[in-house]
C-alpha cells in the first residue's frame, strides 16, 4: 500500500468514526459520492474495517450502538485510523487487535505508536500465541536473536504487543525489568502453563510510553540548538518531556528532555548536524563524534 493511499484510507476512516461517535447515521451511497470512491469501498469500511464496533444497520443507514455514542476520544479515533493498514496485513488478526486497541482495561493486548506496519505474516502464529499469553498472563519462553546475530533463550512475563514506527514488538518484563523484543526476531516460542500476576504499574507505564526504548529510570539530556534549528525544536516535541531551559545571547537555545536510552536522542542530533549538540550527559556528544569519525574513516 502506498503512502498516499494509506493516508487517504486513514483520513476517510477517521471521518467516518467521528461522525458515528457523534450519533450520525451513515449512508453508503452518500458517503461514496462525498469521498469519491465506489460504494463497495464504503461498504467494506463499515462491514469489515469497522466490524469490531458492532454497528447497527437499518435499511441503508449505519449507526453506532446508543451505549457507545461519544465514548471514543480523538486519540481513539486517530489510533483506529492509523491501523487501517492492518486489515490488509493480517485479516484474521486485525478485528481482534482493533478491539484490543479500544479496550481500556488491563487485558488489552495491543499498543500502537505510528501508522504504517511491517508485514509479519510469517509470524502470525507467534503473534496469536503472544496475544493469548498476554490475556491469560502466562509466562513465555523463546529464543531471541539480536541484530549482531547473538541469540539466547529468555523467559519473560508478556504485557503488550506494540507497533512502534511500523515494527512489531513484545513488551515484557525479564526479572522485573521492562524490555522490548522485536517479534520478527522471536523463534521457538513456548507459552508455558505458569501464570504470573500482572503489575498494574507496568501497564500504566507502557500506556504512557511512546517508544520501544523502555527504562523506568530515565536520564535527563540537554541539547544546545543553533538558530537554524531552534524554531523547529520550539514547535515540536522531539524528546520525551521536552522543555526549553533557556535562551542564549547568540540566538541559540538549550532544551532538555528525558530519555531511556541514548538511541532515543542520537538519531535526532545526527539529523540536525551541525546545528544541535549534546551538552549533557557528559560523554554522549563525544560518543556521537567517534561514531561519525568511524563512519567517515577519520582518525580519532
Confidence band of 111 (pLDDT split at 50, 70, 90): low
When pLDDT is averaged across residues 86-91 and rounded to a whole number, the result is 46
Confidence band of 3 (pLDDT split at 50, 70, 90): very low
Total structural domains within the chain: 3
Question: In angstroms, rounded to a whole number, what is the distance separating the alpha carbons of residues 186 and 209?
Answer: 22
Question: In angstroms, rounded to a whole number, what is the distance separating the alpha carbons of residues 171 and 177?
Answer: 10
Given this model, what pLDDT does residue 154 score? 95
Given this model, what pLDDT does residue 16 score? 87
Q: What is the pLDDT of residues 127-150, one digit of tens each?
A: 889 988 998 999 999 999 987 778
192 in the same domain as 168: yes
204 in the same domain as 119: yes
**What SS3 state is found at 106?**
coil
Position 69 pLDDT exceeds 70: yes
Could you give phi then psi for residue 130, rounded to 5 degrees? Answer: -65, -40
28 occurs within a structural domain: yes
**How much of the chain, in percent, has pLDDT values that exceed 70?**
76
* CA 128 distance to own-chain centroid: 18
151 in the same domain as 121: yes
Range of the domain at 71: 3-84
The sign of the CA dihedral 51, 102, 6, 125 is: negative
100 occurs within a structural domain: no
The CA dihedral of 43, 49, 51, 55, to the nearest 10 degrees, is -60
Find the range with the poorest average confidence among 13-27, 73-87, 240-254.
Answer: 73-87
Q: What is the pLDDT of residues 218-254, one digit of tens each?
A: 789 999 999 999 988 988 877 777 899 999 988 999 9
Amino acid at each position: 500500500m502506498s503512502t498516499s493511499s494509506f493516508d487517504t484510507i486513514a483520513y476517510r476512516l477517521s471521518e467516518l468514526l467521528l461522525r458515528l461517535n457523534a450519533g450520525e447515521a451513515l449512508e453508503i451511497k452518500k458517503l461514496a459520492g462525498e469521498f469519491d470512491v465506489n460504494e463497495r469501498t464504503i461498504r467494506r469500511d463499515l462491514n469489515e474495517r469497522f466490524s469490531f464496533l458492532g454497528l447497527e444497520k437499518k435499511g441503508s443507514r449505519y449507526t453506532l450502538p446508543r451505549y457507545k455514542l461519544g465514548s471514543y476520544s480523538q486519540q481513539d479515533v486517530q489510533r483506529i485510523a492509523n491501523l487501517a493498514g492492518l486489515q490488509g496485513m493480517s485479516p484474521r488478526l486485525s478485528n481482534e487487535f482493533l478491539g484490543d486497541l479500544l479496550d481500556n482495561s488491563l487485558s488489552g493486548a495491543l499498543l500502537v505508536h505510528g501508522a504504517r506496519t511491517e508485514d509479519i505474516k510469517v509470524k502470525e502464529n507467534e503473534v496469536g500465541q503472544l496475544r493469548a499469553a498476554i490475556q491469560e498472563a502466562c509466562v513465555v519462553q523463546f529464543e531471541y536473536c539480536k541484530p549482531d546475530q547473538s541469540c539466547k533463550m529468555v523467559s519473560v512475563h508478556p504485557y503488550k504487543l506494540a507497533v512502534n514506527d511500523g515494527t512489531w514488538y513484545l513488551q515484557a518484563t525479564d526479572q522485573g525489568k521492562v524490555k522490548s523484543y522485536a517479534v520478527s526476531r522471536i523463534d521457538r516460542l513456548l507459552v508455558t502453563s505458569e501464570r504470573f500476576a500482572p503489575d498494574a504499574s507496568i501497564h500504566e507505564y507502557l500506556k504512557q510510553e511512546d517508544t520501544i526504548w523502555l527504562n523506568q529510570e530515565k536520564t535527563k539530556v540537554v541539547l544546545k540548538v543553533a538558530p537554524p534549528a531552534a524554531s523547529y525544536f520550539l514547535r515540536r516535541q522531539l524528546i520525551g518531556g521536552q522543555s526549553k531551559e533557556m535562551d542564549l545571547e547568540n540566538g541559540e537555545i538549550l532544551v532538555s528532555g528525558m530519555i531511556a536510552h541514548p538511541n532515543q536522542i542520537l538519531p535526532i542530533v545526527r539529523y540536525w548536524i551541525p546545528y544541535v549538540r549534546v551538552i549533557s550527559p557528559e560523554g554522549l556528544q563525544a560518543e556521537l563524534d567517534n561514531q561519525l569519525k568511524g563512519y567517515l574513516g577519520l582518525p580519532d
